[in-house]
């Protein structure tokens, strides 16, 4: 065996606190340059997960201490049964929606507030936006994406939601600059954002960079991702054989190998990319 052989570290799940549910693998109205999803040319793919699969997963995980269910995609709000799935998940615990904001306007925010009020749990929004400059943002996301998110922030703030902005630092800007600029933008939309409302993630890790870095705060340490095809370590590796953990929650693996460029990003970030640190909000 040569000295250049790469031995990927193994991660053991510590607690099952986060259940990610991929509502659709490929259906999204945007095509962001840095998105980890390999999109087909056709935007109208109907690959939605069934409610029965979700009910089954909730039942099989009933003894796990799940603090939050995360509805992910591609764009989860394109699911035709989105409202029913949201209500179903809210019966169990808090629900976080990962969205590009397209489907959130004032009317929708008012409706979602009513749905939340009917439950004893909370709805949290993670909104994707990547730069404080409209042109730079729309250059890597989509024309109009910037204004869509600003409108979503304004609408959610009006109904007392506390959204989190998810920034992929595509342009490698200084963290302080991003924090200040995004706080100013939020203020103009009537939302008083704190540091905890703004998450900044770096990209461009390489698998070969995973060497002796300390492994801490990875999404795969605290949860698993359900897709229409089975159980995976995290949303990054959803439907990827390298992240496969099993077909059902009645029997799934709590160990995984950190061997992808996504893992390298996670290890460098030293905080979960998808999961919420609720302690920051108390």
* Binding residue for ligand SF4, selected from 23, 69, 164, 266, defined by CB under 6 A: 266
- Specify the residue, 146 or 222, whose C-beta has the smaller distance to ligand SF4: 222
- Strand 164-168 with 68-72, pairing: unpaired
- Strand 94-99 with 123-128, pairing: parallel
The separation between the first and the last C-alpha atoms of the chain, rounded to the nearest angstrom, is: 51
Question: Is residue 20 close enough to count as binding ligand SF4 by CB under 6 A?
Answer: no
Question: Is residue 90 close enough to count as binding ligand SF4 by CB under 6 A?
Answer: no
* Binding residue for ligand SF4, selected from 21, 71, 258, 276, defined by CB under 6 A: 258
Question: Is residue 237 close enough to count as binding ligand SF4 by CB under 6 A?
Answer: yes
Question: Is residue 16 close enough to count as binding ligand SF4 by CB under 6 A?
Answer: no
- Specify the residue, 38 or 117, whose C-beta has the smaller distance to ligand SF4: 38
Whole-number Å distance between alpha carbons of 250 and 56: 10
Question: Is residue 155 close enough to count as binding ligand SF4 by CB under 6 A?
Answer: no
Q: What is the residue whose two structure tokens read 């924090």?
A: 179
Stretch that binds ligand SF4, among 44-52, 112-120, 181-189, 252-260 (CB under 6 A): 252-260
Question: Is residue 256 close enough to count as binding ligand SF4 by CB under 6 A?
Answer: yes
* Binding residue for ligand SF4, selected from 193, 219, 230, 275, defined by CB under 6 A: 219
What b-and-e string marks burial along 143-160, b requiring 16 or more CB atoms within 10 Å of the CB?
eebbebbbbbbbbbbebe
Name the nearest CA neighbour of 48 among 94, 84, 17, 16.
Answer: 84
Question: Is residue 129 close enough to count as binding ligand SF4 by CB under 6 A?
Answer: no
CB of 218 to ligand SF4, least distance (A): 4
- Specify the residue, 139 or 240, whose C-beta has the smaller distance to ligand SF4: 240
Handedness of CA 126, 128, 130, 132 (dihedral sign): negative
- Specify the residue, 17 or 256, whose C-beta has the smaller distance to ligand SF4: 256
For 252, which DSSP code? -
Handedness of CA 88, 94, 100, 102 (dihedral sign): positive
CB 116 within 8 A of CB 122: yes
- Specify the residue, 113 or 246, whose C-beta has the smaller distance to ligand SF4: 246
Q: Report the interface residues with ligand SF4, using CB under 6 A.
A: 218-220, 233-234, 236-237, 243, 256, 258, 260, 262-263, 266
């Amino acid at each position: 065996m040569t000295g250049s052989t790469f031995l990927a570290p193994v991660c053991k799940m510590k607690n099952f606190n986060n259940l990610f549910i991929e509502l659709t693998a490929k259906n999204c109205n945007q095509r962001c340059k840095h998105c980890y999803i390999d999109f087909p040319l056709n935007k109208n793919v109907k690959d939605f997960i069934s409610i029965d699969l979700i009910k089954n997963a909730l039942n099989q995980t009933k003894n796990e201490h799940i603090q939050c269910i995360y509805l992910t995609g591609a764009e989860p709000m394109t699911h035709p049964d989105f409202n029913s799935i949201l209500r179903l998940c809210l019966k169990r615990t808090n629900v976080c929606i990962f969205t590009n904001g397209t489907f959130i306007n004032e009317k929708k925010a008012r409706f979602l507030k009513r749905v939340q009020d009917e439950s004893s749990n909370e709805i949290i929004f993670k909104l994707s936006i990547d730069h404080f400059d409209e042109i730079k943002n729309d250059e890597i996301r989509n024309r109009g994406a910037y204004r869509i998110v600003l409108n979503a922030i304004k609408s959610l703030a009006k109904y007392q939601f506390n959204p989190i902005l998810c920034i992929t630092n595509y342009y490698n800007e200084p963290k302080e600059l991003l924090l200040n600029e995004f706080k100013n933008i939020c203020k103009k939309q009537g939302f008083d954002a704190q540091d905890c409302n703004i998450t900044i993630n770096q990209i461009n890790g390489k698998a070969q960079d995973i060497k002796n870095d300390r492994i801490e705060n990875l999404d795969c340490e605290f949860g698993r991702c359900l897709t229409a095809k089975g159980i995976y370590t995290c949303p990054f590796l959803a439907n990827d054989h390298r992240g496969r953990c099993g077909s059902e929650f009645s029997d799934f693996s709590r160990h995984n190998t950190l061997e992808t460029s996504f893992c390298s990003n996670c290890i460098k970030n030293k905080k979960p990319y998808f999961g919420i640190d609720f302690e920051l909000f108390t």
